[in-house]
Amino acid sequence: MTHTISSTNQSLQIKRKAVEVTKDRNGTDQILLQNPRGASARVSLHGGQVLSWRTDRGEELLFTSSKAILKPPYAVRGGIPICFPQFGQRGSLEQHGFARNRTWIIDENPPPLHPNDNNGKAFIDLLLKPLEDDLKIWPHSFEFRLRVYLTADGNLSLISRIRNINCKPFSFSIAYHTYFSISDISEVRVEGLETLDYLDNLCQRERFTEQGDALTFESEVDRVYLGSRDVIAIFDHERKRAFFIRKEGLPDVGVWNPWVKKSKAIVDFGDEEYKQMLCVNGAAVEKPITLKTGEEWTGRLELSVVPSS
């Protein structure tokens, strides 16, 4: 970052690099995205995981556990791990698939996206291809391209393109496992899921229908809401702000908070940290996505934060 004094009005101008690549303490590349107003996002090549998203006032919007294991191949408990090619335990793979545990690369020459998606400088393109060991447990040749993009307004956008590379049709599920930072789980409500059916992981995935006007929290929640609208909101009354989750190609929404007992059983999670985080995940779970040879799927998630009463 450089600081310069403008000769005309003597005001302090701060010039930031839109994209900077650094190394974390394990030697893994991390990419810092910054927009001209000072909002930022940090992405690791480990897991293609967004680790931080900050406002122009430097306020962190994503939760990371104080007990997170910052050593590959573990996924960091926080930020936005990507669950692919399996969400949860619905399949033969380890929970949430392997993409969050692999090293991605920077895609220097990605195929072009829709022009609007290039409208700015603060973005990075990542690429994951299967390793030989991955093909043994999931024998499908794919390319997973992920663009992480910080807009001029400070919104965080994730665009995924998954392609079948010349192999038999395959199916996958996917989720952006987003750990939102909140003031207190008892003070938040989620809107946009009312009247939807959901599968309850706490009751062997039994199907229920959401009855309330908005979702509030007073015990463990582990659900997948089915076929939701494309905008979901999380209102944080104490912090007087709301997150908006806009999604395309991701019909379902995972909602997870481990509450008291489960928190104590998770090694990389503090006993009391369930109060400060809520996972609301744009996902395609119930109906897996099938790609024939040469076909590509695109999914988008855009996160924004606004003041609210």
Q: Are strands 179-181 and 197-200 parallel, antiparallel or unpaired?
A: unpaired
Within the chain, where are the H helices? 132-137, 259-265
- The smaller minimum CB distance to ligand BG6, of residues 122 and 190, is found at 190
Q: How far is the CB of 247 from ligand BG6 (least distance, A)?
A: 16
Q: Which residues pair with 253 in a beta bridge?
A: 225, 282
* Site residues, ligand BG6 (CB under 6 A): 88, 95-96, 177, 201, 222, 254, 256
How far is it, in rounded angstroms, from Cα 196 to Cα 308?
25
* SS3 state at 24: coil
**Residue placing its CB nearer to ligand BG6 in the complex, 123 or 225:** 225
- 275: three-class secondary structure by DSSP: helix
CB of 266 to ligand BG6, least distance (A): 6
Q: In whole angstroms, how far apart are CA 207 and each of 90, 127, 199, 214, 222? A: 15, 36, 5, 18, 12
In the complex, least distance from residue 205 CB atom to ligand BG6, rounded to whole angstroms:
10
Mention every residue, 6+ apart, whose C-beta is less than 8 A from residue 83.
96, 97, 99, 100, 173, 174, 175, 176, 177, 281, 283
Rounded to a whole number of angstroms, the minimum distance from the CB of residue 211 to ligand BG6 is 21
- Which residue positions form the known binding site? 77, 95, 100
CB of 251 to ligand BG6, least distance (A): 16
- Identity of the residue, 149 or 243, whose beta carbon is nearer to ligand BG6 in the bound complex: 243
- How many Cα atoms within 13 Å fall on the side-chain side of residue 71? 3
- Of 125 and 222, the one with the shorter C-beta distance to ligand BG6 is 222
> Which of 259, 244, 78 has its CA nearest to residue 185?
259
Name the residue nearer to ligand BG6 (CB basis): 32 or 75: 75
Please identify the residue of the shown chain whose CB is closest to the bound ligand BG6: 256
Binding site listing for substrate:
77, 95, 100
SS3 for 133? helix
If the CB atoms of residues 161 and 177 are measured against ligand BG6, the closer one turns out to be 177
Q: How far is the CB of 265 from ligand BG6 (least distance, A)?
A: 9
